[in-house]
Amino acid sequence: MGEVRSKSDMEDVHFYRKRYELEIRLLRESGISQKNKELIEKFCNDCFAQGITAGRVQKYA
């Protein structure tokens, strides 16, 4: 039988984490107000703290 792996053990085959990090870097360099940048990053961090995956956070943000 195949090995059962948890979500944390699985590879990120869709590169969601890498794409998320790229989007955050682009956000920081954008013309959006500093306050809004901080709010967006805080929202994303709160999502991760709740266990939401990088792919889902990308869709929300």
The pTM assigned to this predicted structure is: 0.72
Neighbouring CB atoms inside 10 A of 57's CB total 20
CA 36/CA 7 separation, integer angstroms: 31
What's the sign of the alpha-carbon dihedral 46, 47, 53, 56?
Answer: negative
Tens of pLDDT along 44-57? 999 999 999 988 99
Q: Is 5 helix (H, G, I), strand (E, B) or coil?
A: coil
Note the pLDDT of residue 41. Answer: 94
Q: How high is the pLDDT of residue 8?
A: 55
Q: What is residue 46's predicted lDDT score, i.e. its pLDDT?
A: 95
Listed in sequence order, the residues at least 6 apart from 14 whose beta carbon sits closer than 8 Å to its beta carbon are 55
Does 10 have pLDDT greater than 70?
Answer: no
Q: Between 8 and 59, whose confidence is greater?
A: 59
Instruction: Please give the pLDDT value at position 17.
Output: 87
